[in-house]
Amino acid sequence: MADEEEVEVVEEKKGGLVKILLFVTIGLLLIIISVGATLFLSGFFDPKPVVVDEEGNVVTQEIDGEAAEEEEEVDPNAPKPLIKTSKETPEGQKFDQLYNELDRGFTINLAGSQKFVQFSMGFMTHYDQRIVDFVYKHEMAIRSAIIMEVSSHQQDQLVTVADKQKLADSLKTRMNQVLTGYEDFGGIEEVFFTEFVIQ
């Protein structure tokens, strides 16, 4: 009988010890999970941004022999800055080009005549995919600006290659004005005609 009571007491102690170990383990897991979640949400695991100077060179700062970034308070909701994408060349700084063509062409009446111009166009940027996304996001406003610009020209203003290049430059300016108005940044470097017919 005494042996049975001793066995019960030992089993109760073991059961209490198992419960304590279980609670401690759960507590440690909760602490680890909360620390990990806090680090993740605070951006600790995010890749560090690259700092670029005015000339497009990557800048690092040395603190006690280790590379470090300037620590500034940054609004987490602020958009990341657009940076020209460069490619390594032995002779100097060069930038990658990103080309894109607008999906639909244009048919626009010319000023002071019964003629109209039909054309398709594309554009180039040295910046990242966000510029292309901005163009498609604001495509209606950009198409309207292009139509307004081209419809102000007469047929004799679109005859030579120089005339067409001048029109492309003015379309680039108008597209950048629209993007700057809506996104606070233009980014279109050049405009190209892929088709151009006056009828």
Q: Give the closest residue to 94 by CA, choosing from 55, 49, 60, 131.
A: 55
Q: What is the DSSP string of 39-87?
A: HHHTTTTSPPPPEE-TTS-EE-EEETTEEE-------TTSPPPP-PPEE
Residue 169 within a domain: yes
The boundaries of the domain holding residue 185 are: 98-198
Asked if the structure places residue 81 within a domain, the reply is no
Residue 74 lies in a domain: no
- 40-45 — which CB contacts under 8 Å span 24+ positions? 43/76
> Which of 139, 138, 171, 165 lies closest to 152, judged by CA?
171
Domain for residue 14, yes or no?
no
pLDDT at 64: 43
Please give the tally of structural domains in the chain. 1
Alpha-carbon Rg for the chain in angstroms: 32
CB count, 10 Å around CB of 36?
12
In a domain, 48, yes or no: no
pLDDT tens for the chain, 199 residues: list them: 556 666 565 666 667 778 888 888 999 999 999 888 888 787 777 776 666 666 666 665 544 444 444 445 556 666 666 666 555 544 555 678 889 999 999 999 999 889 999 999 999 998 888 899 999 999 999 999 999 999 999 999 999 999 999 999 999 999 999 999 998 888 899 999 999 999 9
Q: Which of 64, 163, 80 is nearest to 117 (CA)?
A: 163
Dmax (CA) for the chain in angstroms is 118
The answer as to whether 90 is a domain residue is: no
Residue 69 in any domain: the answer is: no
